[in-house]
Structure 1
């Protein structure tokens, strides 16, 4: 178990220069936006506009903060992300634009290089004390402060900090009220 504090996230402009990102982790460590195998970050969306283009990358995003984010997709479909909606997955090859609903938003992003890695992100509500077993390399990003423990050793996990778990690690999450936590599992792609 390792806690990555939000103060330690690397801040940088978006690949297209139209926003700001807090990079939580990349693999290999230190990879830039064109060379990562996988990347987890928080995007600050201050204005409407296009998403950065990431060829050969699979993406999933979820709203962390704000009133809502509309995603305009290439098939003339629009998806709305809210504070209670499930994460949305799409191809980094797509031309996607976003529109904020009533003010700026922040969203959690997971990206994996197609053919090398894959990922899944889910929103889970934790209440009182619950355990989670990591079956793959797993990251937890809570939407409020919680306490976490492995083998009886407790730590504070603040809002939008990240808990990193290796495969087979079990963590207990303790909270005084229901808290949504994004659970991200990353694994190598299975050869075809």
Structure 2
């Protein structure tokens, strides 16, 4: 789908509620290809975290403060309604975007290097595991799922749970929490 500002294309991975649009979602996960320098779309009342999946990286200027993002850097959180301009370091990138509606939901994004086995735990709410590099198995009480490049598994529930990631690769763990639910 086209970017909100018309400057590129995004691939939506998950959105809540299910029938929401880019104007009224509670939370949204997507990837985007950035081929040119320029402004990011403005999303009023939204908090955003950006991670570089492919390419050499970008310099993101958020209200005059520059941050360099590459495949190796930690995910970068910022207000999506702040003035933000991207400058590519050396060519096109693909990024992972996580966005939540401020005052209703919050999120955490963690880059995880998997070399053999890693345990990841959730809070109450939604947890997404996104495969950024390599291949790995995702083992839970209900079975095993094989994850390949850009596969994403979305899980949610009222209880906390844990998963084992087995193999080699890079994953992003995304936690989405409803701030109105007590004792997350």
Instruction: Tell me by how many angstroms 1:152 deviates.
Output: 6.7
- SS of the equivalent of 1:173 reads strand
More strand by share: 2
In structure 1, list runs of 5 or more residues that go unmatched.
Answer: 1-11
Q: Which runs of 4+ in 1 moved over 6 A?
A: none
Provide the residue aligned with 1:48 in structure 2.
37
Instruction: Tell me by how many angstroms 1:172 deviates.
Output: 1.7
Provide the residue aligned with 1:173 in structure 2.
165
Provide the residue aligned with 2:8 in structure 1.
19
Q: 1:38 aligns with which of 9, 27, 40?
A: 27
Provide the residue aligned with 1:161 in structure 2.
151
CA RMSD of aligned residues (A): 1.5
Provide the residue aligned with 1:128 in structure 2.
116
- Contact 1:60 1:88 (C-alpha < 8 Å) held by counterparts: yes
Q: TM-score, normalising length from structure 2? A: 0.90
In structure 2, list runs of 5 or more residues that go unmatched.
Answer: none
Which whole-Å CA distance do the structure 2 matches of 1:92 and 1:36 have between them? 13
Q: TM-score, normalising length from structure 1? A: 0.87
Which whole-Å CA distance do the structure 1 matches of 2:34 and 2:69 have between them? 13
Pairs within 5 Å for 1:88-103:
88-103=76-91
- The 1:170/1:48 distance shift into structure 2, 3 A limit, reads same
Q: 1:109 aligns with which of 97, 101, 110?
A: 97
Provide the residue aligned with 1:187 in structure 2.
177
* Residue 57 (structure 2) pairs with residue 68 (structure 1): yes
Corresponding residue pairs, total: 177
* Residue 78 (structure 2) pairs with residue 86 (structure 1): no
Provide the residue aligned with 1:4 in structure 2.
none
Instruction: Tell me by how many angstroms 1:30 deviates.
Output: 2.3
Which whole-Å CA distance do the structure 2 matches of 1:46 and 1:133 have between them? 35
- Contact 2:123 2:177 (C-alpha < 8 Å) held by counterparts: no
Instruction: Tell me by how many angstroms 1:89 deviates.
Output: 0.6
